[in-house]
Amino acid sequence: MDQRYIHYSRKGTPRCTCCPASFTLEAAVILPLLAGFFVSILFFFRVLQVELQVQKSLDDTGRMLAVYLSGEDGGFTAELTAANALFLKEMSGKKEAGRYIRGGTMGISLLESDFSEHEIRLRAIYQIRLPVRLFWTLDITVEQTACCRKWTGWHAAGEGGESDEWVYITEMGSVYHLSNDCTHLTLSIRSVDEGQVASLRNENGGKYRTCALCANRKHRGGRVYITNQGDRYHTDLNCSGIKRTVFLIRRSETGDRSCCTRCMGG
């Protein structure tokens, strides 16, 4: 047999076994870091949610204290007690805050608040528990502030001893009204057949005449609109003669407007 055609085969281990082992080592190191990164991102949004809840409660508490503490000086202890009671009431039912804040809602301190002068400065200090230790730190200290001015009332600016009370006006009206229930503002509008208008009378016994504002507008069906107190009939329901846009202003801002006779009589 020719030795040139003899083939020898050998079996043995692969030349290098370090590559699969290196992949395993890298996965063991990178996967926990990657998982921690995504947990931190999700936790960041939770922290924002907690801060929004605390800030809203601080703002609502400040507005209520602005009225509660107006004209009173019960001392820092009494004012802080009132602030804590109102704040805890606003924070009740907020599960995220109780879950991530160390000590729950009771772990939020308002001791650094200030109630002096005419302003209320609510300062909330609390700690948020981290899901993993970050640079040897387990908690993050958070501080939030809400400022509100105490309600000190208003001073009358009217002349002749009259108080500067709130009154009602309309966009095109020449008088002001003492009540928003005035019949000039709350019109009783009803739709009638145009052929019956001549025989109808308002509550004062007067006849209905054509409205100059909407007389030339086209309308369908022969229906028109009247009120019990008015003396005009309207072809358009959106006519400014029966549509009221009411504004609330001070009496000192009414200018040349006189008081409504129906309000004065009522």
**What are the pLDDT tens digits along the chain (266 aa)?**
555 555 555 555 555 555 565 656 666 667 666 666 666 667 677 788 888 999 999 999 988 888 887 666 667 888 888 899 999 988 888 877 878 888 888 899 999 998 887 788 999 999 988 766 555 667 788 999 998 888 766 554 444 444 578 888 887 788 898 888 887 787 778 888 888 888 888 888 888 888 888 877 766 667 888 888 788 888 887 787 777 788 888 888 888 889 988 887 65
Tokens of 173: 């009206």
pLDDT at 96: 78
Amino acid found at 104: G
Greatest Cα pair distance in the chain: 140
What is the pLDDT, as a whole number, of residue 143?
Answer: 92
Note the pLDDT of residue 263: 83
Report the pLDDT value the prediction gives residue 54, as an integer from 0 to 100: 92
Q: Which pLDDT value is given to residue 40?
A: 65
Q: Which of 125, 120, 142 has the alpha carbon at shortest distance from 63?
A: 120
Q: How many residues appear in the chain?
A: 266
Closest CA to 167 of 183, 182, 151: 182
Q: What was the pLDDT predicted at 45?
A: 78
Other Cβ atoms less than 10 A from the Cβ of 250: the count is: 15
Type of residue numbered 153: G
Vertex 84, ends 81 and 89: CA angle to 5°? 130
Q: Is the CB of residue 41 less than 8 Å from the CB of residue 137?
A: no
| Residue 158: per-residue pLDDT | 46
Distances (CA, A) of 209 to 121, 170, 190, 220, 226: 62, 22, 15, 19, 10
Contact at 8 Å (CB) between 254 and 248? no
At residue 187's C-alpha, the angle toward residues 184 and 190, to 5°, is 150
Please give the Cα distance from 54 to 120 (Å, whole number): 17
